Amino acid sequence: MIDFLFVYEIKNREIETIILLGEELKRRGYKVEYIHVLMQRKLSRKEEINTILKFNLKSGMNTIIEYSQLVKSFKHFVNLRFEQVFSNHAHKFADSLYPHDCVKGLFHLCWGRAQYNELVERKITPDSLIMAGPIHMDFLRPAFSIFYKSKKELQEEYCLLENKSIFLFIESGFLSRREAEGVVSRYPESRLVETHDDSLETFSIILLWIEKYLQSFPDTYFIYRPHPGKVDDMDISELKKYENFREIKDYSIKQWILVSDIVATTTSTSIIEAYFAGKKCVVLRPKEIENRDDSPIYHNCESIKTLEDFLKINTETGQSLDERVVKEFYDVDEKYPSFMRMCDALEKIYADKRHIIDLDNLKIGKNRLTVKNWGVKWYIKNKMIALQSITNISFGEKTDYMLKTLKTRKSYITSNDEIALISNKIRKILH
């Protein structure tokens, strides 16, 4: 029997966090397993699971039906909600981004009081909400300093000279029109298509700023960090001709934040990691962002609007986020880490007999055909993609894009060796 099964999607975003939770649960005597969402069909039909924890759950009927066919039994589902901060517009109107239908009755992690209140307003009962805080921020605590590579180790790995400083730019998920339209097809309330042109204009201006910076400060390495989960890469070819420019996708964002001297972005929520790491935070806004399209964590935050001010970054103190706003969305207890709070809650869920998922009451039988059909379609698509990758035959633009998407998603699967390495590091910290 597996006590806790963690299902993840994007390696750099999730794997460290779930292994931290898993190692603490193992330390408490529980059996824990990790599996990528693309590999979950390899679960044994004889497997009994107490609690399944998934990276994100919004509409859950098909998910619950799927697991009812993949394994023998399970009792609880926990929604880890790895995305909890959206645009102001989405927080008010994007119902598709929040738990609905039968998912409302599952357990949900909340990073802060703001998210807790949002879910209560959406008719989710308080006893289904876990106020544990942002677990991923625990890695920025002093006790975890040995978890990440030192600046010197990364300099050697990426051939960076020791006497140069590091400027980290975190891409804010600038999407191609195809990606934006894909998101809107899944989440109709999204404004990504409406804001697409403004977003690309902002990106184009920032690229010019970066090029000027590279020319002005050759003794600073400028590290460009693409947004995780993107399929279509942005065109930054003009920047790659500079010796002090690097595009780096490896390791988690926290790894690079910790070794950087300056951290900049436009709307990425990863600026919160830089904030808790005590780094110099810079918000770049060459074009004004409407309040409804901005993230609430940027409320009252100053930003850099001109190239002239951007080129003064090295000597300025940097712009800090509003502490009151940060605390509302990220409930960090300095004395008791979030992963410990979460594991305390998971132990209670494990023993909970009142909230066991009732598969009979959900009328699973009537929905089995839907999931079976979905599985057949997925199988056929995978065969088409495999054939295309071997023969270079094109089945059309959609299939070409599907192949690219699948390759991207498969790159997020963490090997057993990687899991063992992360687990060993965390065990040293916990013990």
Model confidence pLDDT, tens digit, residues 311-351: 999 888 766 789 999 999 999 999 999 999 999 999 999 99
Confidence check: pLDDT of 92 > 60: yes
Alpha-carbon gap, residue 425 to 331, rounded angstroms = 25
All residues at 6 or more sequence positions from 330 whose CB lies less than 8 Å from its CB, including other chains: 111, 112, 133, 134, 137, 272, 276
Residue 229 pLDDT: 60
Q: Can you read off the two tokens belonging to residue 279?
A: 């780094």
Q: Which residues pair with 54 in a beta bridge?
A: 7, 79
Q: Which pLDDT belongs to residue 366? A: 46
Domains and CATH numbers, the chain: 2-134+333-393+413-430 (3.40.50), 148-321 (3.40.50.2000)
Mean pLDDT value across the chain = 85
393-407 average pLDDT score: 71
Of 37-51, 123-137, 278-292, 348-362, where does mean pLDDT reach its minimum?
348-362
- Which pTM value belongs to this model? 0.85
Token pair of 413 as six digits: 């699967």
pLDDT at residue number 40: 84
CA distance 78 to 54: 6
For residue 169, the cross-strand partners are 224, 264
Angle at 77 between CA 74 and CA 79, to 5 degrees: 160
Burial 390-417, CB ≥16 within 10 A → b, else e:
eeeeeeeeebeebbeebeebeebbbeee
Consecutive H or E run containing 4? strand 2-8
Confidence band (pLDDT; 50, 70, 90) for 364?
Answer: low
pLDDT at 160 over 80: yes
Would you place residue 262 in the very low, low, confident or very high pLDDT band (cuts 50, 70, 90)? Answer: very high
pLDDT band at 114; cut points 50, 70, 90 = very high
- For 373-397, write each residue's pLDDT tens digit: 555 665 676 677 677 667 777 767 6
